[in-house]
């Protein structure tokens, strides 16, 4: 038989080890929470002393909400210590309204300071919509951009429902109240109604590009059939201003703002996410993108480039 004293001692040892592990985890969480987020997320006034500051706002992944980006842009526009703003875009676009709200915030910010759009891997559709609000657009030669257009999608489930013996029914107040429903035929009248909406939202995009790029509407329409362009092609077509990555974008922005010497980049610190901190930043952001991927079969109208 086990000695009761030894058994009690073993239990105490296991408990002590468990408590130490918990303490280490808590210590790690506290340490990460109080440390700066790294990269360009400088917030210290001591570091900024004597250096011109540029606010950086990142638009990453599908654009489904606008609150955080709009808030950051407005904050930098009102902050006298921020001399200019860079909108760093790596997005296939997204929902129409959030894209327009961020675009409007960019246009308003330009009334107070210079704003430069810096395109990373992808700045298509709604991502490009946001970019045309800036004073200058910088893209890499291989950036995917353009995709000027609007899309709305539906799924027809009627044949599937017939096979499983399910029938959809609706009581409605008007002919088009259930327009787009996947349980009834999509009629020509439905198509006309939705096409009129698509055409109107499309022209909103075209006019924004025409205004931002100082192009004739006819010229924009010739480019706006939904196709994508490389950054190099976009430069030749007048859709962007210069070639370069983030480093070049910083140099261009500093010059526009009259900043002498090396500028200080300022980014909002991300809210602490323990799981995300445990994972590498690259892996975590990949998961974020996949988790928030947009399907055009969800209700809504999109400024979105998607291969789904």
Active site residues: 125, 177
Structure tokens at 264: 């200080």
Residue pair 243/118 in contact by the 8 Å Cβ criterion = no
Query: For the chain, how many helices (H) and strands (E)?
Result: 12, 10
DSSP per-residue string spanning 189-210: HHHHHHHHHHHHHHHHHHHHHH
Distance CA 147, CA 127 (A): 9
How far is Cα 71 from Cα 186, in angstroms, rounded to an integer?
A: 40
What's the number of CA atoms in the CB half-sphere (13 Å) around residue 243?
10
Q: Within a 13 Å sphere around the CA of 160, how many CA atoms are in the beta-carbon half?
A: 5
- Measure the CA dihedral 302/122/115/84, to 10°: 130
Dist CA 222 CA 216 (whole Å): 10
d(CA 308, CA 293): 10
265 half-sphere exposure, CB direction, 13 A CA radius:
18
E-strand ranges in 21-81 read: 53-60
| Residue 145 · residue 124 · CB < 8 Å | yes
């Amino acid at each position: 038989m086990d000695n009761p004293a030894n058994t009690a001692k073993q239990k105490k040892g296991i408990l002590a080890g468990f408590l130490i592990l918990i303490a280490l985890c808590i210590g790690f969480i506290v340490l990460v929470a109080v440390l700066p987020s790294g990269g360009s997320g400088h917030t210290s006034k001591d570091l900024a002393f004597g250096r011109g500051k540029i606010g950086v706002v990142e638009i990453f992944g599908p654009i489904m909400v606008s609150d955080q980006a709009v808030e950051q842009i407005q904050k930098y526009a009102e902050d006298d210590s921020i001399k200019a703003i860079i909108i760093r875009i790596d997005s296939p676009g997204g929902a129409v309204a959030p894209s327009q709200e961020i675009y409007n915030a960019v246009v308003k910010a330009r009334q107070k300071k210079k704003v430069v759009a810096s395109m990373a891997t992808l700045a298509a559709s709604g991502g490009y919509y946001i970019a045309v609000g800036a004073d200058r657009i910088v893209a890499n030669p291989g950036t995917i951009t353009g995709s000027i257009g609007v899309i709305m999608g539906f799924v027809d489930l009627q044949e599937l429902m017939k096979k499983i013996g399910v029938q959809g029914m609706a009581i409605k107040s008007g002919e088009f109240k259930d327009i787009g429903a996947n349980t009834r035929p999509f009629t020509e009248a439905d198509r006309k109604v939705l096409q009129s909406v698509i055409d109107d939202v499309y022209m909103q995009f075209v006019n924004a590009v025409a205004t931002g790029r100082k192009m004739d509407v006819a010229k924009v329409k010739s480019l706006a059939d939904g196709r994508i362009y490389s950054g190099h092609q976009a430069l030749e077509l007048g859709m962007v201003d210069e070639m370069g990555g983030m480093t070049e974008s910083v140099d261009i922005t500093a010059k526009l703002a009259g900043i002498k010497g090396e500028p200080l980049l300022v980014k909002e610190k991300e809210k602490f996410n323990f799981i995300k901190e445990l994972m590498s930043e690259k892996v975590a952001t990949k998961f974020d993108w996949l988790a928030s991927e947009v399907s055009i079969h969800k209700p809504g109208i999109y400024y979105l480039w998607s291969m789904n």
